[in-house]
Amino acid sequence: MELKATLSKKFKDFTLEADIAVRADRCGVFGPSGSGKSTLMNLLAGLQRPDHGRIELAGRVLFDAAARIDLPPEERRIGVVFQHSHLFPHLNVRKNLFYGWQRTRASERWLDPESLIQVLDLGHLLTRGVASLSGGERQRVALARTVLSCPRLILMDEPLTGLDEALKYQIIPYLKKVFSEFDIPLLFISHSMQEMRLLTEEVLVFERGRVRESLPAEALARQQLGTGSRGYANLITLRDPRPQGDLWSYRWGGLEFIATDSGNSGDNLFELGAKDITLFKRHPEATSARNLIACRVESLFGEGNRVGVELSCPGGRLVSQIVPDSVRQLELREGTGVTAVIKASALRRLY
């Protein structure tokens, strides 16, 4: 994707002045509500008109105030997935899905609808009315409807915000699958750090109508370690659960991980809070925690009264969050060997 946009729009109590240049295929727009994220989406899609500026997508000028170019939404080929799916209530699922497809020139239809319907697991819903769909099904249909219009860029405006946690993590794998199998650039708007890390590579941080900075999602998450109320969470992929008593043992690289949650036979994504990883200088002989991992300090980062310790373990990297006093007491620096102690119940399975 190559999206370049310089936009300004004045509202009564708020001004948007955005200057963005996106190269990543999956880019996030992150910021608190009211920071102008949705306005940005409307301006890019042609649903609102900027006062000044220029929008260029993959070499094509969509808007240029100076040159009086303003393509209507239907000619921009930018697909939008709204927060509330907004499926057409008078059409059934199939007709909703193909609404955009039918309005796309044959020469521009580059994907196979059947395979998309299969990836999103919609086959059994096609003849249903949209009112009978569950929240998760609605969002999957909305996504498929947008993808089927074969856009050059998809904007998603907090598509997971209205859903509860469990549903959200049911949909994320679908989203990942669609965006990896069908090579479509994505601009993903959200105020959820977790969604950013799971779905995007690069993140534009919005603040009061301006882009504050642009950085990888992982870097943003670490930056929030000091300020965010929830702190930093490790996202780790564990494989092949085996029952072990009333717990489950997973493979993580060459290591075993004990967790309380059961999972699927393939990859399972777990969340592990950085503050749930306790560091010991030496191996504690007995502890109630089930996971004791010998690792090495890779780096220290953070600010204020919280320090992030990046650990290199045999299975991968982990980040532990401790306080500066502990760093001094344990004499932690790059290369120090420590034992990370993690309770089985601290691992929370996402999907």
Partner 1 sequence: MSLLSPQDLQAIWLSAKVACAATLFSAPFGFAAAYLLVFVRLPGKAVLEGLINLPLVLPPVVVGYLLLLLFGQQGGVGPLLDNLGIRVVFTLTGAVIASAVVGFPLLVRALRIGMEGIDHHYLQASRTLGARWWDTLFTIILPLSSPALFAGMTLMFARSLGEFGATIILAGNIPGVTQTIPLAIYDYTNTPGGDRMALSLCLVSIVLSFVVLLASEAANRSFKRRVA
Q: Which residues bind partner 1 (CB under 8 A)?
A: 45-47, 72-74, 76-80, 82, 84, 86, 88-90, 99-100, 103-104, 131, 145-146, 149
Note whether 336 and 297 are within 8 A (CB): yes
Residue number, 46 or 315, with CB nearest to partner 1 = 46
> In the numeric block, which tokens belong to residue 163?
């859903």
Tell the smallest beta-carbon distance from residue 13 to partner 1 (Å): 21
> DSSP state, 150?
-
Tell the smallest beta-carbon distance from residue 201 to partner 1 (Å): 24
β-bridge pairing 307-313 and 291-301: antiparallel
Note whether 90 and 141 are within 8 A (CB): no
Residue number, 132 or 227, with CB nearest to partner 1 = 132
Which residue, among 232, 274, 236, has the nearest Cα to 257 in the 3D structure?
236
Which contiguous run of DSSP H or E holds residue 51? none
Buried b (16+ CB within 10 A) or exposed e, 192-202: ebbbbbbbbbb
Residue number, 141 or 233, with CB nearest to partner 1 = 141
Residue number, 82 or 301, with CB nearest to partner 1 = 82
Note whether 257 and 316 are within 8 A (CB): no
User: Measured between alpha carbons, how far is residue 249 from residues 242, 253, 284, 297 in Å?
Assistant: 5, 13, 21, 25
Note whether 36 and 19 are within 8 A (CB): no
Residue number, 122 or 238, with CB nearest to partner 1 = 122
Tell the smallest beta-carbon distance from residue 140 to partner 1 (Å): 15
> In the numeric block, which tokens belong to residue 175?
């989203």
The Cα diameter of the chain in Å comes to 73
Tell the smallest beta-carbon distance from residue 82 to partner 1 (Å): 6
Residue number, 35 or 85, with CB nearest to partner 1 = 85
- Rounded Cα distance, 95 and 79, in Å: 17
Tell the smallest beta-carbon distance from residue 147 to partner 1 (Å): 11
Residue number, 9 or 343, with CB nearest to partner 1 = 9
Note whether 137 and 85 are within 8 A (CB): no
Tell the smallest beta-carbon distance from residue 6 to partner 1 (Å): 22
- Rounded Cα distance, 279 and 257, in Å: 16
Note whether 201 and 40 are within 8 A (CB): no
Task: Please report, to the nearest 10 degrees, the dihedral formed by the alpha carbons of residues 45, 47, 49, 50 taken in order.
Answer: -50
Tell the smallest beta-carbon distance from residue 78 to partner 1 (Å): 7
Report CA torsion sign: 147, 148, 153, 155.
negative
Residue number, 73 or 216, with CB nearest to partner 1 = 73
Tell the smallest beta-carbon distance from residue 167 to partner 1 (Å): 21
Residue number, 35 or 146, with CB nearest to partner 1 = 146
